[in-house]
Amino acid sequence: MADEKKFAGYICTGCGIGERLDAGQLETTATRDGKMQLCRQHEMLCSAEGVQMIRDDIANEDVTHIMIAACSRRAKVEAFHFPEVAMSRANLREGVIWVRPDTDENRETTQEMADDYIRMACAEVKFMTKPSMAGERKLNKNIMVVGGGVTGMSAALEAAAAGYPVHIVEKSGALGGHAAQFYKAIPTRAPYSEPQDPGVAQMIADVEANDLITVHLNSKVAKTEGAPGRFQVQIATESGDTTEVSFGAIVQATGFELYDPSELSQFNYGNSPDIVTNLELEKLAKEADGGPIKRPSDGREVQAVAFVQNVGQNSTEEGQLPYHSGIGDLVAIKQAMYFKELNPGCDTTVLFDNLRTPGAPGEDFYRAGQEKMITFAKGRVNEVVPGDTLEVKFKDLILNDDASMKCDLVVLDVGMVPKVGPDPYAIPLTAEEEEENAAAAEAAEAAGEEAPQVDVESILNLDYRQGTDLPQLKYGFTDSHFICFPYETRRTGIYAAGPVRRPMDIRQARDDATGAAMKAIQAAEHAAVGQAVHPRSGDLSYPSFRREGCTQCKRCTVECPFGAINEDEERYPVFNEERCRRCGTCMGACPVRVISFENYSVDTVGQQIKNVDIPEEWDEKPRILVLACENDAYPALDQAAMNGVEINPWARVIPVRCLGSVSLSWITDSLNNGFDGIVLMGCQKGDDYQCHFVKGSEMGLERMSKVGDTLETLNLEPERVASYEVAITDVERAPKLINDMAETVEKIGLSPFKF
């Protein structure tokens, strides 16, 4: 029968496993306890011969489910790639022999660990089904880029160079964005001594000449529906015309706006045309067309200019930017060089409180500025006084004295504010705040002034129940992690690039665009074959649920970090597999345990827990369950094993996709089965999160914080369950947390459920 299951186990004796463990006993455990119908040993299972042995059994013995007992499931992934069957792996190398000292007194407990991992892997694979692609699919190569600045054009050119048609949607009537107004750019090549041409004009020409790139000017995204591989987007023009295009993936490259310094009264921006922002100076330099830069008020050639750095940035004051844009000092050096080039003899001073010159140009560009006789003065500006001649009053931080200087022009270094839509997860206004806004609007109307605008215009207009735009970090930048996944947002198949992610210069934005374009292509390609993109790249599984058991509690739809679950007209969940990242957070959230994946479910983990051999109380051998995130905690434990860090023999480690996927039933079942302690290891949460599933770890830890009620019901000590945030670098700490639990169990005693 084609639907019959046949289970086979394969035990590797290489890498010291055969020397440290009784392989014959492991085989007996697999066949007797694990009910493997076929079991083989091999001295190097990952070798060509070992892999071929498994392939032959799949082809000739009709094997459908395999259990591989060898190294960590994170090792030899390419060798042990058998997509045609369901597979589990028992970690005997990193998980057993490398974490246990090779002594006679340890031999018994080390063998017990290995036997348990065999039982667990056999139990896991029994409750697995080989994932299969859902439905008929077709590759949609179209990529949409929202934003026609340097970042957007770079993303479009890179995608087009790879053979993917691109549509650029630009709100204004021209390509180029802010950079089109630049006179010159920060240098990107050694010796980093002179500003260089921004290259924007050439980029625009390249875009317009590329047959694979379609440009929509004076246009906006009116609506975005669907998912990776089948986004349906309505592009609306100012005239009201609408075009609908289907896309495989989307890149948001909407760039930045400059912080408005008008509210900072000490700088008197707006009270003198000769007090300008750094972007406005670019326009003055470009308009000079190779001649001297002239001040706006009277057209007089600038003889003295002051650059005031860090205006409204890195501040705790309300209405100012709590972050520093990072590149403002490099911009000031570049612009000061304009005056050395175009206004010979101009007195050029950069007033700074903390000079930052990051990146490749860095120190070299700063030294080049000094050599051009640009003055760098460490001072904190208190006031810019308007007049025919401007006066800059500042505190000299070197001499610790008040000082001032006269100049013709003052340039304010204002920060970059990301151009994003409304944050779908923003904390709603309180009733009091709404009343204050209404009162302010009424007062403005009574005074004949324009009422303050608080609404933020949507950019993507997503048709998602979780909101119309991309989620944001605490400073308003689009949500992505600069180390783990720099372009991925919480909306699968939609990538962010450029200053919408963080402040950056032209070179950084172009590099960023390349990465986002490649990710978008990957998303379109994976969607065509039903595979996940990140972080479980290639995973075909997706969630399903047992409708008759669903209570319509909405926990899954609310807690999904990626907007992958909607509701039908009867309020049952509707899973969108293309949006799904396969984290299992919905599964962990479900109180009635009706959500599962083909290869990861409440049963695949629950049966591992139930198949651990729990010794009788008189054996005095505790058991500690460790549920470790597969992205950070589990790799940390693997690395600890490679470093020879010892782990207590009572521990049994089960990798989970995310702490957010942990079902409370696993906790209660393990305690009821006689486990003496439980350690949960998730990723770091909060603003500097490291969770590959963004909010999964945070939600999992929140659920676990309430497990004390369960322990109280069972009359168990709260110390028996501990939750931790673990980084992938916690190579020493992760094993210690397990060993600490062993000490705790020793102090409070074995679980009463053993008795």
The predicted-structure confidence for 40-80, as pLDDT tens digits, reads as follows 999 999 999 999 999 999 999 999 999 999 999 999 999 99
The pLDDT of residue 399: 93
CATH topology of domain 272-413: FAD/NAD(P)-binding domain (3.50.50)
- For 670-688, letters b (16+ CB in 10 Å) and e give bbebbbbbbbbbbbbbeee
The pLDDT of residue 753: 82
Q: What is the CATH number of domain 143-255+457-528?
A: 3.50.50.60
pLDDT > 70: percent of the chain:
95
Q: Yes or no: is domain 1-130 CATH 3.40.50?
A: yes
Number of neighbours of residue 374 by Cβ within 10 angstroms: 21
**What residues have CB less than 8 Å from 16, skipping those under 6 apart?**
93, 97
The pLDDT of residue 690: 84
Asked whether residue 570 carries a pLDDT value surpassing 80, the answer given is yes
For residue 409, the cross-strand partners are 305
Question: Where do the domains of the chain lie?
Answer: 1-130, 143-255+457-528, 272-413
How confident is the model over 647-676, as a mean pLDDT?
Answer: 94
Asked whether residue 433 carries a pLDDT value surpassing 60, the answer given is no
How confident is the model over 342-362, as a mean pLDDT?
Answer: 93
How confident is the model over 114-120, as a mean pLDDT?
Answer: 98
Residue 213: closest CA among 147, 157, 149: 157
Measure the CA–CA gap between 306 and 391, rounded to whole angstroms: 10
The pLDDT of residue 454: 45
Please work out, in degrees rounded to the nearest 5, the angle formed at the alpha carbon of residue 327 by the alpha carbons of 326 and 331. Answer: 150
Among 219-223, 435-439, 603-607, which is the least confidently predicted range?
A: 435-439
Number of neighbours of residue 661 by Cβ within 10 angstroms: 29
For residue 65, the cross-strand partners are 7, 86
Asked whether residue 284 carries a pLDDT value surpassing 80, the answer given is yes
Strands 390-396 and 375-385: antiparallel
Upstream peptide bond of 543 is cis (omega within 30 degrees of 0): no
Asked whether residue 32 carries a pLDDT value surpassing 80, the answer given is yes
The SS3 assignment for 97 reads helix
Task: Tell me how long the chain is.
Answer: 755
Identical fold, 1-130 and 272-413:
no
Q: Bin 147: left if φ > 0, else alpha if -120 < ψ < 50, else beta.
A: left
Residue 79: closest CA among 44, 104, 29, 127: 44
pLDDT > 90: percent of the chain:
79
Name the pLDDT band for 436 (thresholds 50, 70, 90). low
Eight-class DSSP state of 96: I
Measure the CA–CA gap between 545 and 481, rounded to whole angstroms: 31
How confident is the model over 508-528, as a mean pLDDT?
Answer: 95
